[in-house]
Chain A
Amino acid sequence: MNLFVNKLYIWSRSQKNRNLFIQFIFIIFVSFFIYYLISKALLLDMTLSHFDSRAGFGISHTFVIDYTSNDSRWVSYFTGVINTIRVCIVAIFFATLLGTIMGVARLSKNILFSTISYLYVEILRNTPLLIQIIFWQIIFLKLPRISEALTFGNTVVISNRGILLPSASPSDNGNIWITIIIITVILSLIVSYIINKKEDLEGKSIKLFNFKFNGNLLSILLFLTITITTYFILQKPFNLDLPSLYQNNKGTFLQSGGFEFTPEFGAILFALVMYTGTFITEIVRGSIQSLSKGQTEAAQALGLSDYQTMTLIVLPQALRSIIPPLTNQYLNLTKNSSLSVVIAYPELFMISRTIMNNAGRALPVFFLILITYLLLSLVISIFMNVINRRVTRIGT
């Protein structure tokens, strides 16, 4: 016994052994904790069979999927997923645009531009997104009420029920025309690639009536010719959908038709664009500043204008260090979109919560939400990685 204690003492004298022991204990605790959580979860009903039932509730914003309350809960869930994707794509586009402009403006010699950009970043980056979302909703609700709605002929209706714009909905031949457009786009890309390649290799270009055609111009012409002629051949493949403001038989104003831009969509879109835009501004500014000053000076020495210096020399090089942190911002934006649950924009989290309230089984539904966000994030990551690889390859 004494020998054992002695041996244990000697064993414990080693720093490595003691660390090993502590880590061993730690792992045991963690495994027990995880085991406990899993064993509790297994007692619950983890299936999503209740998603096959009739949904029974209406959704205010439907896009692509023509959802009615008679559809299953799966359809309502995917309506929510599409609403999330829709707001994310539009917000990512505008946030990038805004961030790039503001990032360049931040470094402008013009004091007005740089001050605007500075104030924009410092104010919007340092206030909570949730409060910004509610702020934008209040702003949008201050648009004219429907009884005082602004109308511009039969083309635009503006009220706090939504801004209605003319839109086009495909008629019978519409889908054929869309297919033709897609094929033509691919065809044009191939044509421009072949011609440009040939031009690069042989140094010759196609000349017609003394006018030099390059591949890009030719492919655009090709695209326009085919799409416009098929548009007339197919006899108006699209019906124009004009918005209207009307009074029902009780004298109450209602609006319908066209493309609808609602206050809820507007609020979440503006908030996400403005908020994420601040971070993108800083990324763009940082990346430009990280470039050696010699690049700008060399460009100026060559006689390039400020605009040319920016678009031809600085931004293409800055892009390399912009893309990785930009990906993070896109992912943040996607995850932040779930905050729109507070302003009645029915994105996937809000619809899932409604389903949970109607039929319970919160845990499997939460897993479904997590997997959906994970998939959305992975798609963005993969897409951005592809772009990143392309960008970093140029010039190496």
Chain B
Amino acid sequence: MTKIKLSLLLFSVMSLAIFVACSSETETSNKDMAEGNSTLKTVQDRGTLKCGVNDNLTGFGVLTSGGTFEGFDIDYCKAVAAAILGDASKVEYVPLTASARFEALSSGEIDMLVRNTTWTASRDRDLANDFTATTFYDGQGMMVYADSGYKTIEDMDGATVCVLQGTTTELNLDDRFTSVGLNYTPLTFETNDPLQAAFEEKRCDGWTTDKSGLASKRAEFPASAGGPESLVVLAETLSKEPLGPLTRDNDSNFYDVVQWVVFGLIQAEESGITSANVAAMAASPADPGMARLLGVAFGDGKVADFNFGVDPTFIQHAIAAVGNYGEIYERHLTPLGLTRSGSLNALWTNGGLVYAPPFR
């Protein structure tokens, strides 16, 4: 009898524990946000940033054989962690599939999502996300085997196309084919690995996703399946795909920090601040604008603090950790063959779209 009693007691205590755990975990969910429980404070209290990322897209987010995460998107996680916590290594990476990413963000499992995610109206409103800024201007492309003879989408009547499930690419693909009245069979996979396996066996004629993703997959296409030369990415761009980090709706404190870290890194490139010279620049800023960006005093003046809820030097920390926008791009995307000059991702001063609002 004592045993039963004890187990009952234990069970009650456990259910209480679950109850408490659940209530504390859901603190970060949307509804509590209005009560001032900002993700920013959660991150500061926790001491780590939970960042939802891709672990299987070379250049953007990939889990290396050494067990570390690397890539263009990963660097934004590091930059935000450096800005808020002063340490770029304090990031807890949560690898997510395309179809699980929004649930993870809305449930509070992660603080921010940087997983080559396209900014769209329905995701912004229907899925209750807030897109901070565009870090990469992408467009959907179609990759086919070079020997197939396909030159345009119009050639592909009756083709089978491999695509990731639950992506905007899946919807754009359908729009494109149905608008010209072509038949096609979409083969929708949840993750990239089985998709690539099917494509290598020529189960599908085409593989569609963002052009950056196709460049990445083409660059590492195994020689046993024909190597990169056996594939071509069609010239046509099916859609606009602005990619960038996103946070939950109604979470302005955190949203603003993430957004301005991105803008800060862009501004840093424009101002010529790099990870190499940021310390020197901070010691003696060239002009008041640079002093504001780096959160230091210009001459004998005061420090301009915009009340982000973090140290005013947060952008300085971010630059020191990952470098400016151009450095991040050079490090991860240039090796994939994604040329920056002349593309939409060039700085606005060079005719691109990469532009930061004034930091004042």
| Residues of chain A having any CB pair with chain B under 8 Å | 15, 18-19, 22-23, 25-26, 29-30, 32-33, 36, 40, 43, 50, 56-60, 68-70, 134, 137-138, 141-142, 145-147, 160-161, 248-252, 254, 256, 263-264, 341-344, 346, 350, 353-354, 356-360, 362
**Total A-B residue contacts, Cβ distance less than 8 Å:** 140
- The CA of A26 and the CA of B190, in the complex, are separated in Å by 42
Within 8 Å CB of B149, what residues of A? 250-252
- Is the pair B188, A354 in contact by a Cβ cutoff of 8 Å? yes
Within 8 Å CB of A264, what residues of B? 187
Contact of A359 among B16, B122, B205 (CB under 8 A): B122
Contact of A18 among B5, B22, B184, B189 (CB under 8 A): B5
Name 22 A/B residue pairs within 8 A (Cβ), A-sorted.
A15-B1, A18-B5, A19-B4, A26-B11, A26-B12, A29-B12, A29-B15, A29-B16, A43-B31, A58-B174, A58-B177, A58-B185, A60-B187, A60-B188, A145-B202, A160-B203, A250-B155, A254-B158, A344-B198, A360-B102, A360-B128, A362-B106
Within 8 Å CB of A58, what residues of B? 170, 173-174, 177, 184-186
- The CA of A158 and the CA of B106, in the complex, are separated in Å by 45
Within 8 Å CB of A15, what residues of B? 1
Minimum C-beta distance from A7 to chain B (A): 22
- Is the pair B103, A22 in contact by a Cβ cutoff of 8 Å? no
Contact of B103 among A36, A69, A263, A362 (CB under 8 A): A362
Looking at A32, A69, A342, which has the most chain B CB atoms within 10 Å of its CB? A69
Q: Interface range on chain B: under 10, 10 to 19, 20 to 34, or 35 or more?
A: 35 or more
- Is the pair B187, A344 in contact by a Cβ cutoff of 8 Å? yes
Within 8 Å CB of B65, what residues of A? none
B253 within 8 A of A: no
Which residue of chain B has its CB nearest to the CB of A61? Answer: B185
In the complex, besides A56-B174, A354-B166, A358-B122, 20 extra interface pairs with C-beta distance below 8 angstroms are A18-B5, A29-B19, A56-B171, A68-B178, A138-B197, A141-B201, A147-B202, A160-B202, A252-B148, A254-B159, A263-B203, A264-B187, A342-B190, A344-B198, A346-B188, A353-B165, A353-B166, A353-B190, A354-B165, A356-B103
Within 8 A of A (CB), among B115-129: 122, 126-128
Within 8 Å CB of B99, what residues of A? 353-354, 356-357
- The CA of A279 and the CA of B194, in the complex, are separated in Å by 28
Chain B 143-164 near chain A by CB (<8 Å), digits 1 or 0: 0000011110001011110000
Within 8 Å CB of B187, what residues of A? 60, 264, 344
Within 8 Å CB of B197, what residues of A? 138, 141
Chain B 29-45 near chain A by CB (<8 Å), digits 1 or 0: 00100000000000000
- Is the pair B18, A57 in contact by a Cβ cutoff of 8 Å? no
Within 8 Å CB of B1, what residues of A? 15
Within 8 Å CB of A19, what residues of B? 4-5, 8
Minimum C-beta distance from A266 to chain B (A): 12
Looking at A18, A142, A341, which has the most chain B CB atoms within 10 Å of its CB? A341
Contact of B126 among A32, A50, A254 (CB under 8 A): A50
B26 within 8 A of A: yes
Minimum C-beta distance from B55 to chain A (A): 17
B9 within 8 A of A: yes
- Is the pair B9, A22 in contact by a Cβ cutoff of 8 Å? yes
Within 8 Å CB of A362, what residues of B? 103, 106
Within 8 Å CB of B250, what residues of A? none
- Is the pair B166, A359 in contact by a Cβ cutoff of 8 Å? no
- The CA of A30 and the CA of B12, in the complex, are separated in Å by 8
Minimum C-beta distance from B251 to chain A (A): 16
Which residue of chain B has its CB nearest to the CB of A22? Answer: B8
- Is the pair A350, B188 in contact by a Cβ cutoff of 8 Å? yes
Within 8 Å CB of A249, what residues of B? 155
- The CA of A30 and the CA of B18, in the complex, are separated in Å by 10
| Residues of chain B having any CB pair with chain A under 8 Å | 1, 4-5, 8-9, 11-12, 15-16, 18-19, 22-23, 26, 31, 98-99, 102-103, 106, 122, 126-128, 148-151, 155, 157-160, 165-167, 170-171, 173-175, 177-178, 184-191, 194-195, 197-198, 201-203, 205
- The CA of A60 and the CA of B22, in the complex, are separated in Å by 40
Within 8 Å CB of A356, what residues of B? 99, 103, 166
Within 8 Å CB of B184, what residues of A? 58
Within 8 Å CB of A25, what residues of B? 12
Minimum C-beta distance from B73 to chain A (A): 19
Within 8 Å CB of B194, what residues of A? 134, 137, 342-344
Within 8 Å CB of B122, what residues of A? 358-359
- The CA of A19 and the CA of B16, in the complex, are separated in Å by 18
Within 8 Å CB of A263, what residues of B? 203
- Is the pair A252, B103 in contact by a Cβ cutoff of 8 Å? no
Minimum C-beta distance from A265 to chain B (A): 12
- Is the pair A22, B5 in contact by a Cβ cutoff of 8 Å? yes
- Is the pair A161, B128 in contact by a Cβ cutoff of 8 Å? no
Which residue of chain B has its CB nearest to the CB of A246? Answer: B158
Within 8 Å CB of B201, what residues of A? 141-142, 145, 160
Minimum C-beta distance from B165 to chain A (A): 6
- Is the pair B23, A36 in contact by a Cβ cutoff of 8 Å? yes
Which residue of chain A has its CB nearest to the CB of B188? Answer: A344
Contact of A146 among B18, B191, B202 (CB under 8 A): B202
Within 8 Å CB of B103, what residues of A? 356, 362
Within 8 Å CB of A358, what residues of B? 122, 166, 171
- Is the pair A354, B170 in contact by a Cβ cutoff of 8 Å? yes
Minimum C-beta distance from A60 to chain B (A): 5
Minimum C-beta distance from B174 to chain A (A): 5
- The CA of A392 and the CA of B189, in the complex, are separated in Å by 46
Within 8 Å CB of B128, what residues of A? 360
Minimum C-beta distance from A340 to chain B (A): 11
Minimum C-beta distance from B202 to chain A (A): 5
Contact of A248 among B157, B170, B178 (CB under 8 A): B157
Within 8 Å CB of B175, what residues of A? 56
- Is the pair B19, A57 in contact by a Cβ cutoff of 8 Å? no
Within 8 Å CB of A250, what residues of B? 148-151, 155
- The CA of A251 and the CA of B177, in the complex, are separated in Å by 20
Within 8 Å CB of B203, what residues of A? 141, 160-161, 263
Within 8 Å CB of A29, what residues of B? 12, 15-16, 19
- Is the pair A22, B150 in contact by a Cβ cutoff of 8 Å? no
Which residue of chain B has its CB nearest to the CB of A342? Answer: B190
- The CA of A358 and the CA of B126, in the complex, are separated in Å by 9
Which residue of chain A has its CB nearest to the CB of B15? Answer: A29
Minimum C-beta distance from A14 to chain B (A): 12
Are A60 and B202 CB-contacts (below 8 A) given A25-B12, A357-B99, A357-B167? no
Contact of B8 among A26, A248, A256 (CB under 8 A): A26
Minimum C-beta distance from A63 to chain B (A): 14
